Amino acid sequence: MNEPQQKWTETIDANHSLFDLKLKEVWKYKDLVYMFVKRDFVSSFKQTILGPIWFFINPILTTIVFLIIFGKIAQLSTDGAPPLLFYLGGVTLWNYFSSSLLATSSTFTGNAGIFGKVYFPRLVTPISIVISNLMRFGVQLILFILVWAYYLSKGQVHPNIWVLATPFLVILMALFALGVGMIFSSLTTKYKDLSMLLGFGISLYMYATPVIYPTSALRGVFKQIALYNPLTGIFECFKYAWIGVGDFSPAMLGISTIIIVILLMIGIVVFNKVEKTFMDTV
């Protein structure tokens, strides 16, 4: 008597296109994304006294330091914006980008134990990192809005229609951190020294980004170089939209968008290529 032929309900195949994000498969694992986001959120403040209050303490302390060093001592221009609000806006955006990039860059090395035991779309991990950091960003953005509302009541800020572009700016930052993070996470499987250099590089990159100064303060070749920094258009648009100051133009944001899309595509290709063999080198 012939037994009925068994049919597989799931096939795991590594032979997929380098440009394939497997978004449908990622959506099937949305519960896993939620679990990773919850894990990251809880582990960040486990065994701390103040807990989520650190969401507020970090940007406040950083802003105060910037206000003293760059505002009072160095006396850098803020284009007439209230210095406290100017630095707080820059710090809020920068914290989200830098934390997302650093965490995403360790996707393979930091999760090798999980990846080696069970299968799930590897893209779930960097996506969950970007989302969990988005929660922190949301809390810090509330702090910025509270301070902004105070200066708005004093008539010292002049917001405009570009405020509506804020979600798009956040998405651009997330995609930028995701793309560059996937590139570094792939490279660090073979070259672990890059993880150490990345932390130092991000610190330097902050000074190449209009976090503590406006692009209007730059001249000549430095200003031309700044225009091709993907974060320049994002930061300048945010400050122009909410505070009403800055050297912003739609073309600047367009350049940022194009560069970020290119880097994201490169990140996808590299990530998908290394995903197949990283367990042999990590």
Structure tokens, 153: 């009541």
* Structural domain that includes position 268: 27-33+53-280
21 lies in a domain? no
Predicted confidence band at 280 (pLDDT cuts at 50, 70, 90)?
A: very low
For 220: left if phi > 0, alpha if psi spans -120 to 50, otherwise beta; the answer is left
Angle at 231 between CA 55 and CA 166, to 5 degrees: 60
Radius of gyration over every alpha carbon of the chain, rounded to an integer in angstroms: 21
**Structure confidence at residue 177 (pLDDT):** 93
Q: pLDDT per residue over 86-142, tens digit each?
A: 999 999 999 999 999 988 887 767 666 676 667 666 778 888 888 888 888 988 999
Mean pLDDT score, 167-187: 91
Q: b/e per residue, 68-100, with b = 16+ CB within 10 A? A: eebbeeeebebbebbbbbbbbbbbbbbbbbbbb
173 lies in a domain? yes
State the average pLDDT for the chain.
83
Q: b/e per residue, 257-272, with b = 16+ CB within 10 A? A: bebbeebbeebbbbbb
Q: What is the dihedral of CA 77, 79, 85, 90, to 10 degrees?
A: -70
**Structure confidence at residue 48 (pLDDT):** 59
Name the least confident of 25-29, 32-36, 43-47. Answer: 43-47
7 lies in a domain? no
Question: φ, ψ for residue 154 (rounded to 5)?
Answer: -90, -5
d(CA 215, CA 43): 38
229 lies in a domain? yes
pTM for this prediction: 0.84
198 lies in a domain? yes
**Structure confidence at residue 53 (pLDDT):** 75
d(CA 265, CA 271): 10
CA-CA distances (angstroms) from residue 92 to 98, 105, 119, 137? 10, 20, 35, 7
Whether the CB-CB separation of 82 and 97 falls below 8 Å is answered with no
Structure tokens, 224: 């031309």
Distance of CA 264 to the CA centre of its chain: 12
Number of domains in the chain: 1
- Residue of 188 and 113 predicted with greater confidence: 188
Predicted confidence band at 278 (pLDDT cuts at 50, 70, 90)?
A: low
3 lies in a domain? no
147 lies in a domain? yes
Whether the CB-CB separation of 262 and 174 falls below 8 Å is answered with no
**Structure confidence at residue 270 (pLDDT):** 85
Of the candidates 96, 160, 164, 107, the one whose C-alpha atom is nearest the C-alpha of residue 134 is: 96
